[in-house]
Amino acid sequence: MALHVLITGGSQGAGKATALKFAAQGWDVTVAARAGDRLNQVADQIQNYGQKALAVPTDVGKAEQVNALISQSLDKFGQIDALINNAGICLTGPMANTSLEDWRQILDTNLWGCIHTIHAALPAMLSRGQGSIVNVGSFGGKMPLPQMTAYCTSKYALTGLTESLRLELSPQGIHVGIVHPGVINSDFMERAMFRGKNEDEATGRRQQMSKMLGDRWVSQPEDIAAAVWTMVQKRQAETIVGPAAIATELNRLLPQLTQWALGKATESV
């Protein structure tokens, strides 16, 4: 019987690349995201690898939808060998221009989304005493990023959740890891929110981000998929993907200098 992975945010970007990576390696796959049409296309691609696929339209911020996702997935496949919490959205802008509704949306998706899936999937993993939980964080969960307070809050929280949960679950046979991407040339601009004092400032931020996505050092979705795959295979604790590994290490060793340089690099935006 094939192993089975459940991936949130599996319809696009890094989540889709991860779904196809696991399918190519002979795993059956459940994919979840809000838009069902894109999920169904990914399910067709998984089946083209000869694997079983389940596509479940789900908003990970809604506990009842996540509970339904996990039970449908367990009904079809019997067990979840790996849970990949990848769904996430990005917000750039100053705190003063970030509404409470923005905060809720970021935290509901990037943090509560992971809490919901883990809460629902954990009893079945604990009863088998095996399984892997991989959260997709961000280098913004390892170092501060300018104008990204809400996003970094969600990703630092995910780092804390992962590290604490690992302490608790590894003696019970369950692997818990976190992949921290740097900037990915994915589909995230579709959902990314840009805020500013006015429309021009928000548009300037959007344009700066769009321009950055063409840079050579930016990761591709397949790089994240490869890191998630390796993390599950080797039961790794943490990986930082791409040149972001250098930035986070610099910030660890020389926080004042790194943060001063970050501020300078972004002060015109």
Ligand X SMILES: NC(=O)c1ccc[n+]([C@@H]2O[C@H](COP(=O)([O-])OP(=O)(O)OC[C@H]3O[C@@H](n4cnc5c(N)ncnc54)[C@H](OP(=O)(O)O)[C@@H]3O)[C@@H](O)[C@H]2O)c1
Which residues are known catalytic residues? 151
Among 12, 73, 92, 258, the residue binding ligand X under the rule CB under 6 A is 12
119-127, Cβ contacts within 8 angstroms, sequence gap of 24 or more:
119/63, 120/63, 120/66, 120/67, 120/69, 120/70, 120/71, 121/6, 121/70, 121/80, 121/83, 124/70, 124/74, 124/79, 124/80, 125/80, 125/83, 125/174, 126/172, 126/174
Any contact of residue 15 with ligand X (CB under 6 A)? Answer: yes
Say how far apart CA 43 and CA 11 lie, in whole Å. 9
Q: Identify residues 153-172 at the interface with ligand X (CB under 6 A).
A: none
Q: Quote the least distance from Cβ 126 to ligand X, whole Å.
A: 24
Site string for ligand X, 90-109 (x = CB under 6 A): x------------------x
Alpha helix stretches (DSSP H) within the chain: 13-24, 36-48, 63-77, 100-107, 113-128, 149-169, 199-212, 221-234, 244-253, 255-266
Q: Is 181 in the site for ligand X (CB under 6 A)?
A: yes
- The one among 30, 51, 73, 86 contacting ligand X by CB under 6 A: 86
Q: Is 186 in the site for ligand X (CB under 6 A)?
A: yes
Residue 28 lies near ligand X (rule: CB under 6 A): no
CB 85 within 8 A of CB 109: no
Site for ligand X in 191-210 (CB under 6 A): 191
> What minimum distance in Å lies between the beta carbon of 239 and ligand X?
12
Q: Which of the stretches 57-65, 70-78, 114-122, 251-259 binds ligand X when contact is defined by CB under 6 A?
A: 57-65
- Tell me the window of 19-27, 122-130, 181-189, 193-201 that interacts with ligand X (CB under 6 A): 181-189
Query: Considering the rule CB under 6 A, would residue 176 count as an interface residue with ligand X?
Result: no
User: Shortest distance, CB of residue 244 to ligand X, whole angstroms?
Assistant: 8
Helical (H) or strand (E) element with 181: none
